[in-house]
Amino acid sequence: MWDNECFLGIEKSATGRAWRPRLDDPEKARTLGLRCDLPELLARVLAGRDIDAPQAEAFLQPTLKAHMPDPAILRDGEKAAARIAKAITEAEKITVFGDYDVDGGTSSALLKLFFISVGYDADIYIPNRLTEGYGPNKAALEELANSGTQLLITVDCGITSHDVIDDVHQQMDVVIIDHHLADEDLPRAHAIVNPNRRDDISGLGYLAAVGVSFLMVVLINRVLRDSGWYNQERCEPDLLKWLDLVALGTICDVVPLVGLNRAYVTQGLKVLGARQNIGLRALADAAGLEKRPDTYAAGFVLGPRINAAGRLGHSDLGSRLLSTDDEIIANDIAAELHELNRQRRDIEQRVLDQAFVQAEAETKGGQLPTVLICSGDSWHSGVVGIIAGRLKDKFKRPAFAIGFDDKGIGTGSGRSLSGVDLGGAVKAAVEAGVLEKGGGHEMAAGLTIKREQLGAFRAFLDQRLKREVEEAHKHLGFLIDGAVSASGATLNLLAMLERAGPYGSGNPEPRFVLPAHRIVYAARVGDDHVRCTLVSGEGVRINAIAFRTRGTALDQFLLDKPATPVHIAGKLKLNEWRGRRDVQMIIEDAALPATP
């Protein structure tokens, strides 16, 4: 089935999409299966992600040994490690300045735990998202310098903070550990470790900040070892025990799960499952997470609760939770994060309703803008990133959500489609004077904008990104990995597919079609979901559920229960309930069989 053909002939589904095979040439899967002795469906999944025979073993068994480079390959890595090791051995005061999201929180906690394990401690400073904004700010850095900080380490931020770092570089040394896109001109820091600086040739630009931070921990540890720091009283730490933090930050920052990231996440989820980190254990218990943690649990259960602290102005709770060794403190913070996440959901829903009304008004003419920009007065800056992501998912184009304060200053966040460099566009907009501040990476960006700049910003994005968005839409079809019947959707099949995980950005979770199955039961669950029972032609049943479909064509399609067999598309998931384990389909789309 070739790329220009529709899967099962579906040119327009219930959601209005054409179904396309992810794999452009089935011969690739047959060849891969024969050479590597793989089951046909697993070979099809791998081939659909451009994995060939020489890559297959490392892809299916992503180990640190196979993927870990010498961290010294990072530009300024050795220089930064030497300066940090010197601060440790000479007992200088170190402050870690982190971002308020999960990537920043895990990076900060990772460094603090490492410092403690080698016989030293460091302070963590996380700026208040609502009053200080993103990254280093003048007031905070002056306060840290005046309080005796001799070495400032920024993590997941700092690469665009030229002015504030330039102002304090004579008062204290600064080491930047970041992964966001860098300008040609860099801040006047002692060392800048960022695989996305223009003169870095490591090829590690896909790492999250916590992934870069882990490489730096390896380098610092090497310097300490070589200097004779470790002795009978001071043992060298086991660095692998912090891979749970690395996996969590990597998953939550939605960086591609390729190369070293796959090894980080695969091995880190094993550490997370061992529940060694007191804070993560408390948070999992507060969230009622009982099953073995996977990428979903990290990205949609643990991560949002840590993020909720930063979103609602309690920015340091995440890093404190992740770095504490006190169970009472951990339980208290976990409970607070759980409640903050509930509050965040309520705020998010109110803003989302307004954003969707705006976006849908723009569709009435039948043509959406190149980049969707929605804004509102007093939209909470802590949820605009989530809103942008939901807009992007629903309207299939890059999207920004911006909240304006009473002075007409907007704080916004954007989310992009694969192949559309949003971070680069935002940086260019700053240089062109149509934004006050901004930065990010290809898939996500943040900005500060004046209300009167909004029109110019729209026009700038339309001119800069129109071609990229058009090209992205050519490859935006609803991609299908294969067809499976209800009888074939077994626990063994899930176990086989798990070999190609972890799934996430850069390695999408497989999507299958249950062809010609009848909907024998469909009913609303909660406010927005539809639960179904499907039956194959052989009479085998499978349970299924469609999430957040109220008001959509898919919702109506399922609840109307077509009398004839239909094709149901989605993802197969393990469902555990009261000791019972079975497979269910998470419905994403549906279609009537194509007319011959």
Average pLDDT estimate for 41-69:
94
Q: Residues 482, 488, 491, 493: is their CA dihedral positive or negative?
A: negative
pLDDT over 60 at 491, yes or no: yes
Q: Domain residue spans in the chain? A: 7-25+481-591, 66-339, 363-474
What does the pLDDT read at residue 422? 94
Average pLDDT estimate for 223-228:
96
3-state helix, strand, coil in the chain (%, to 5): 45, 20, 35
pLDDT over 80 at 366, yes or no: no
- Residues 71 and 77 sit within 8 Å (Cβ to Cβ): yes
pLDDT (tens digit, 9 = 90+) per residue, 239-256? Answer: 999 999 999 999 999 899
Dist. CA 559–CA 561, nearest whole Å:
5
- Residues 589 and 512 sit within 8 Å (Cβ to Cβ): no
pLDDT (tens digit, 9 = 90+) per residue, 301-351? Answer: 999 999 999 888 899 999 999 999 999 999 999 999 999 999 999 999 999
Q: How many CA atoms are closer than 13 Å to the CA of 474, on its beta-carbon side? A: 9
Residue 578 — very low, low, confident or very high, per pLDDT cuts 50/70/90? confident
| Fold of domain 363-474 | Diaminopimelate Epimerase; Chain A, domain 1 (3.10.310)
What does the pLDDT read at residue 1? 37
What does the pLDDT read at residue 460? 97
Both structure tokens of 332 = 């208290």
Query: What is the tally of helices (H) and strands (E) in the chain?
Result: 21, 18
Dist. CA 320–CA 64, nearest whole Å:
28
Q: Is 458 helix (H, G, I), strand (E, B) or coil?
A: helix
- 75 torsion bin: left (phi>0), alpha (psi -120 to 50), beta (else): beta
Q: Residues 483, 485, 488, 489: is their CA dihedral positive or negative?
A: positive
Average pLDDT estimate for 547-574:
92
Assigned CATH class of 66-339: alpha beta
pLDDT over 90 at 363, yes or no: no
Mean pLDDT (the chain) is 93
Q: From residue 76, how far is each of 71, 195, 200, 440 by CA, in Å?
A: 10, 10, 9, 21
- Residues 528 and 547 sit within 8 Å (Cβ to Cβ): yes
Residue 357 — very low, low, confident or very high, per pLDDT cuts 50/70/90? very high
pLDDT (tens digit, 9 = 90+) per residue, 418-439? Answer: 889 999 999 999 999 999 989 8
Start-to-end CA distance of the chain, whole Å, equals 16
**Cβ within 8 Å of residue 431, ≥6 positions away:** none
User: What is the CATH architecture of 7-25+481-591?
Assistant: Beta Barrel (2.40)
> Which range, of 210-224, 238-252, 266-280, 553-567, averages the lowest pLDDT?
553-567
Q: Give the percent of the chain with pLDDT over 70.
A: 98
Q: From residue 482, how far is each of 7, 500, 565, 570 by CA, in Å?
A: 9, 15, 18, 11
